[in-house]
């Protein structure tokens, strides 16, 4: 040990046998919360990984491998693009996440060479999906480690990595654990951890991964200038609404004649979109039979909170304008 090196005499662990095989961290810094996502310390050659760009130099870009505890790698300048590079800063930016392919791994020296130009669009999509799942798993296990002062790596060794090995991805095991299917089985049954930890894990997963309702919306224009007019429109719209179910009710709001908004709330995006498409077909069939027509201004799609708030603001503004017109005093005859 070199002269002047400070030694932290504070113990960082308790006897593992006294705590069901988990080490307890007593230090001030959160060193116990550092851990890679996967069991392998380094990625496999030709695998595709998610990195964050830390620094751009003449030779290429220095990055952190987000799934491997932020170990350093480099995207070589020649591996940034298939085209001639005129400006490296237009191809890659500091602090941005990138999907790259692993070219070489020197485990002794810790060198990892990466390529951006060899990654296909399909690789990007698959990597992003896997990374987002792994990040969710990491967040769940990190939450437990933080609450119980455990070492995150211990939780990965006893929970995360065994589930990766058995189910392909620990995220799929987490989803299975909160599934309502009775024959799905308990993916945590064979884990060598205390029951109270399993219960806490399942409870947190239920809060974190429980499916959230999605709002699906479509804007349509329905008009009918025949004798039945407004009654034909009303009948067609109600026919569309009747396709809604208790789980996925269909609502129809008038924005301003002849524009209407169809909406439903669902846990499954494709189910909601399919339901509104069916409703539009029924409305079309009914209104055309009466001599009217329908024009889909916005096809069914999942809408954001911002889009919904903008729609509500527009409807409130129109309602206010209508009130002002209705409240005008009649002119003297």
pLDDT of the residue at 303: 85
Fold observed for domain 127-209: DNA polymerase; domain 1 (1.10.150)
Which residues, other chains included, contact 169 with Cβ-Cβ below 8 Å and sequence gap of 6+? 130, 133, 134, 137
Which residues, other chains included, contact 309 with Cβ-Cβ below 8 Å and sequence gap of 6+? none
Superfamily of the domain at 39-118: Nucleic acid-binding proteins (2.40.50.140)
Backbone angles phi, psi at 299, to 5 degrees: -65, 155
H/E element, 132: helix 121-148
pLDDT of the residue at 186: 87
| Residues shown for the chain | 333
Q: Which residue ranges in the chain fall short of pLDDT 70?
A: 1-19, 82, 84-90, 180-184, 305-308, 311-312, 314-333
CA-to-CA distance for 91 and 295, rounded, in angstroms?
Answer: 42
The position carrying tokens 């409870």 is 203
**What is the reported pTM?**
0.65
pLDDT of the residue at 318: 64
3-state secondary structure of 118: coil
Cβ-based neighbour number of residue 138 at 10 Å: 22
pLDDT of the residue at 59: 83
100-128 confidence digits (pLDDT tens): 999 999 988 888 999 999 999 999 999 99
Could you check whether 127-209 and 214-320 share the same CATH topology?
A: no
Fold observed for domain 214-320: Alpha-Beta Plaits (3.30.70)
For residue 163, what is the DSSP state? H
Task: Tell me the domain boundaries of the chain.
Answer: 39-118, 127-209, 214-320
H/E element, 321: helix 305-326
């Amino acid at each position: 040990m070199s002269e002047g090196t400070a030694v932290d005499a504070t113990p960082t662990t308790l006897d593992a046998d006294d705590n069901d095989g988990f080490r307890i961290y007593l230090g001030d810094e959160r060193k116990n919360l550092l851990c890679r996502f996967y069991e392998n310390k380094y990625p496999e050659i030709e695998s595709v990984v998610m990195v964050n760009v830390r620094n751009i130099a003449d030779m290429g870009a220095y990055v952190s491998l987000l799934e491997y505890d932020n170990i350093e790698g480099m995207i070589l300048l020649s591996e940034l693009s298939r085209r001639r590079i005129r400006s490296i800063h237009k191809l890659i930016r500091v602090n941005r996440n990138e999907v790259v392919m692993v070219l070489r791994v020197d485990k002794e020296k810790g060198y990892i060479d990466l390529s951006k130009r060899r990654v296909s669009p399909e690789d990007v999509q698959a990597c992003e999906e896997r990374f987002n799942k792994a990040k969710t798993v990491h967040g769940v296990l990190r939450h437990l480690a933080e609450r119980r002062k455990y070492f995150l790596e211990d939780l990965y060794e006893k929970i995360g990595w065994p589930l990766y090995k058995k189910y392909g991805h620990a995220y799929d095991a987490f989803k299975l654990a909160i599934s309502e299917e009775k024959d799905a089985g308990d993916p945590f049954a064979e884990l060598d951890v205390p029951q109270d930890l399993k219960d806490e894990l399942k409870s947190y997963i239920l809060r974190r991964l429980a499916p959230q309702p999605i709002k699906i919306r479509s804007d349509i224009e329905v008009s009918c200038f025949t004798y039945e007019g407004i009654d034909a429109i009303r009948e067609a719209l109600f026919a569309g609404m009747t396709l809604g179910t208790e789980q996925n009710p269909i609502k129809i709001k008038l924005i301003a004649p002849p524009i209407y908004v169809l909406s439903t709330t669902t846990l499954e995006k494709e189910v909601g979109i399919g339901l509104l498409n069916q409703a539009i077909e029924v409305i079309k069939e009914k209104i055309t039979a009466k001599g009217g027509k329908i024009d889909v201004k916005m096809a069914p799609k999942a809408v954001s909170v911002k889009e919904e708030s903008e729609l509500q603001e527009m409807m409130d503004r129109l309602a206010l304008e209508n009130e002002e017109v209705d409240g005008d005093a009649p002119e003297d005859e």
